Structure 1
Amino acid sequence: MSGSARVGVCHVIGAGLAGLSAALRLAESGRPVRLYEQAPQAGGRCRSFYDATLDRTIDNGSHLALSGNHALVDYARRIGAGAALVEQTPAAFPFLDVRNGDAWTLRPGGLWLFDPQRRVPHSRPWQYLAALRAVLATAGQSVDDALPPDGALHERLWRPLAVSALNAPTARASARLFGSVMRETLLRGESACRPLLAPQGLGAAFVDPALRRLAELGVVLRLGARVDTLRFEGTRAMGLSVDGAMIDVAAGDSVILAAPAWVAERLIPGLTVPPPGPAIVNAHFRLDQLVRLPGGLPFLGLVGGTAEWLFARGDVVAVTVSAADALAQETAESIAASLWRDVAAALRLDGPSRPCRVVKERRATPDQAPDSVLRRPPARTRWDNLCLAGDWTDTGLPASLEAAVRSGDRAARCVLSAC
């Protein structure tokens, strides 16, 4: 194709973070890109929206990125959004046990393991070496297999980190995926562990600037455009039906499917994908004043209650609970009441619950148990001009913003390498 006068078009299906990153990489290389998104807005699960109950713009779900997420940081730089991310330096992770008020802050870096004030209370330096068991875990091991629940750090460190990173109970979560998180962050030192926060929201950091940059590069974006069917002939994808209208995929053209796993499974015959994982529940409370969390940082890990992480932005505190299938079955009112108890305990607030918006993501991530991880497909497919992207593909990482961007980059490079 490189000798042809016509440069092939790449059709990218899905404008979540995986699709946006793939479209960006292709457009930067000079490829014409058409981007299709079924929803009325881009961003997928990484989006912000205005909530009338709170009269505030909130995120669909809270995400804590780290400076070791190199693909995500590079993506933000390339879309011109570096200023929308705030790096917390030095790295610090405050925790609070809501049962008894015990508080501590994990401060990795340097000789931190030998400073009792920078590690979990009553822990010993050698106990942290257990992280290596997750890094070296076999494909079939769960987090509990590698880091047993009776270990000194399980409740106060390994479990909070693993459940939030993998959206699964530690008895089911893949130890190998958790090990990949440890390998790329905690085991690389303080400079790879610095929290990256988006004070103006996920949309302002990762979606809106990407759309502006893609428009500058000539990418054609169609929102509210549902891809109904992919048509195959021989070894190629030959067409895609968008809202019932067939669009031909000409010689030299390519397709990147960056839709959720269950959509990809419907569109591609014989594709093996991981099943959906547990729900994630988020609750956003608007308080009467600006929020200051214990520990002094805009996020806080909680132990001993229902809520797992708190994030403060202005006068709104967001609560995140992963692996939350049981909680998601409750009414929004019941969820708000349960989570408010933890928020009130953490912030030492009295009185009734404040105005709240509950967001339930029932298919927040793919299932990340060891057997499900083995079902993740690679970027390349058996069709010459079709590649896959998404945090459910085989990136070697848990489903996350970093995995989504990395998958989009990988799919784009597969397309470009075939030119």
Structure 2
Amino acid sequence: MAKSKSASRKIIAVVGGGWAGAAAAVSLAKKNHEVHWIESSRQLGGRARAIEHNGNILDNGQHILLGAYSSCLALFKILGIKLEDNFLRLPLQMVYPKQSGMHFVAPRLPAPLHLALALFRAQGLTRADKMVLARFSTTARWMDWQLNVDCSVSELLQRYEQTDRLIQLMWNPLCIAALNTPPERASARVFLAVLRDSLGAKRSASDMLLPTSDLTSLMPQAAAQYLLTHGGQVHLGTAVQDLDGADDGQWRLVSTSPELNAMAFDGIVLATPAEISKRFLIKLANKASKQDVPSLESTDQAFGVPRPIEFPQDFNYEAITTCYLQYGPTLRLERPFFALVDNPMQQHWGQFVFDRGQLHRDQQGMLAVVVSAAAEAVNIERETLATQIAAQLAQVLQLPELAHPVWHQVISEKRATFSCTPNLQRPTNLTTRAGLVLAGDYTACDYPATLESAARSGIAAAQLLL
């Protein structure tokens, strides 16, 4: 039976327990609406969540947030998440182990002086490297970090005559870290948008924020608690199988929860992965067609059409693998993280290594190595991949003992992000069905698939419903 409500208080279902769903749920609850947050699994967090292994709480992937992530920071403020208690804040840096030859760290000075001095002091770059890097930065600012015609990041770097060494040690790692797409097929327009909000903004925007608590407790659990204290409910282990738009303008769910099935909703936020949301919308379109519902004009940017035609192209996906290696508790790297030169020909897969002991007090001696946009690595047997990564660390860090970890855990997300290619058409949050909106890092945004784009999308979806 539908719950009674005041004229201004709406009942909203948010389907999907990731960061986009969290952002939508919090935004709606903050406006005093009754929110039902629904997740099919028993855990919130989506593709940014914690898991348990050998008594340790590990993230399913090592993340870095930026000071430019305004929507994430705004959500943290609403939820009472203090940055100083939950993140290690570092200045922008790209530092390799000594023999790799590059050391770039931005000092804490006003922008753009921080980058100018970092470039002047940078070790491992020639004068020619520094000159072309400075020229690229100046030109990008003059262009307002925009491109009229999109191209690949590799094409952009060639156009501005970036040196091979700069591409290898600076631009390629930044592109892969930000877009999780190889530079030769990554969108230069999206890459410039990330650079604009970090390198091209105030100094604090370029700061790197490394979580010091697990991702589940960092945001989704705090969002769930906020929801409960504002009159909402969280439904875990509840699968939504279908949606029904009623003639009275309200929505109903077909789910594994009799309680939810008996309710009527004023709006629904579909914060599920793109392919799942698309299936829901195709079902709705088929129903509308069978009921002879008049069709509405579809747009190039929207999933939501009244009949199954002209749906957006399906996304291609990129993998991310995180390899956790546990050593003795006395192991400590010189820095919280290092960049690494990957070279598949040498079985060097790691691109960044993080000292988890400097982030989490209870994870002394643990290293996390990230392998992004490397489908080849995902197909290697996990024991073999861990052995190869450990050997890479032993060689580049010149610590032979790193070849023999006490234990390891390899976590691969084969569909971690969509492939952020040039001119990719991403759907808007708005559908053509009243009261039904989309949320997810795949929706239209000038950012790639990141926690920030998920948060932005969730906030935008909530605003559309209101």
TM-score (norm 1): 0.89
Instruction: Work out whether 1:380 is the aligned partner of 2:430.
Output: yes
For residues 123 and 247 of structure 2, what CA distance do their matches in structure 1 show?
58
Q: 2:96 — aligned with what? A: 96
Q: 1:151 — aligned with what? A: 162
For residues 289 and 326 of structure 1, what CA distance do their matches in structure 2 show?
32
For residues 146 and 123 of structure 2, what CA distance do their matches in structure 1 show?
23
In structure 2, relative to structure 1, the CA distance for the partners of 1:111 and 1:259 (3 Å cut) is closer
Identity %, equivalent residues: 28
For residues 97 and 138 of structure 1, what CA distance do their matches in structure 2 show?
38
Q: 2:294 — aligned with what? A: none
Q: 1:306 — aligned with what? A: 349
Pick aligned residue for 1:407 from 428, 444, 457 = 457
Which AA in structure 2 matches 1:25? Answer: S
For residues 183 and 153 of structure 2, what CA distance do their matches in structure 1 show?
5
**Secondary structure of the residue that 2:440 maps to in structure 1?**
coil
Which AA in structure 1 matches 2:416? Answer: A
**Secondary structure of the residue that 1:208 maps to in structure 2?**
helix
For residues 253 and 25 of structure 1, what CA distance do their matches in structure 2 show?
16
Pick aligned residue for 1:124 from 130, 151, 155 = 130
Instruction: Work out whether 1:353 is the aligned partner of 2:397.
Output: no
Deviation of 1:255 (Å): 0.3
Kept in 2, the 8 Å contact 1:377–1:393? The answer is yes
Kept in 2, the 8 Å contact 1:67–1:194? The answer is yes
Kept in 1, the 8 Å contact 2:146–2:193? The answer is no
Which AA in structure 2 matches 1:62? Answer: Q
For residues 235 and 174 of structure 1, what CA distance do their matches in structure 2 show?
44
In structure 2, relative to structure 1, the CA distance for the partners of 1:62 and 1:197 (3 Å cut) is same
Q: 1:325 — aligned with what? A: 375
**Secondary structure of the residue that 2:213 maps to in structure 1?**
coil
How do residues 12-411 of structure 1 correspond to structure 2 at under 5 angstroms? 12-52=14-54, 55-82=55-82, 83-89=84-90, 91-96=91-96, 100-107=99-106, 109=111, 110=113, 112-113=115-116, 115-118=119-122, 121-122=125-126, 123-131=129-137, 132=140, 135-138=145-148, 140-148=150-158, 151-152=162-163, 153-232=166-245, 238-243=251-256, 247=261, 250=264, 253-269=266-282, 270=308, 271-272=311-312, 274-294=314-334, 296=335, 298-304=336-342, 305-314=348-357, 315-351=365-401, 352-354=403-405, 355-371=407-423, 373-374=424-425, 376-411=426-461
Deviation of 1:290 (Å): 4.5
Deviation of 1:268 (Å): 0.9
Deviation of 1:306 (Å): 1.7
Bigger Cα displacement from structure 2, 325-334 vs 341-350: 341-350
Aligned length: 405
In structure 2, relative to structure 1, the CA distance for the partners of 1:408 and 1:293 (3 Å cut) is same
For residues 123 and 453 of structure 2, what CA distance do their matches in structure 1 show?
28
The structure that has the greater radius of gyration is 2
For residues 272 and 382 of structure 2, what CA distance do their matches in structure 1 show?
28
For residues 232 and 248 of structure 2, what CA distance do their matches in structure 1 show?
27
Runs of 5+ unmatched residues, structure 1: none
Which AA in structure 1 matches 2:150? Answer: G
TM-score (norm 2): 0.81
Task: Give CA-to-partner distance per residue, 1:6-33, whole Å, 9 cap, x none.
Answer: 7321000001000011000100100000
Q: 2:293 — aligned with what? A: none
Q: Which one has a larger percent helix, Structure 1 or Structure 2?
A: 2
In structure 2, relative to structure 1, the CA distance for the partners of 1:140 and 1:237 (3 Å cut) is farther
Deviation of 1:233 (Å): 5.6
Kept in 1, the 8 Å contact 2:101–2:124? The answer is no
Task: Give CA-to-partner distance per residue, 1:231-269, whole Å, 9 cap, x none.
Answer: 24679673221138673674x700000011111111112
In structure 2, relative to structure 1, the CA distance for the partners of 1:403 and 1:111 (3 Å cut) is closer
For residues 63 and 251 of structure 2, what CA distance do their matches in structure 1 show?
38
Task: Give CA-to-partner distance per residue, 1:164-221, whole Å, 9 cap, x none.
Answer: 1111111111111111100110111421111112112222322222222222112211
In structure 2, relative to structure 1, the CA distance for the partners of 1:119 and 1:65 (3 Å cut) is farther
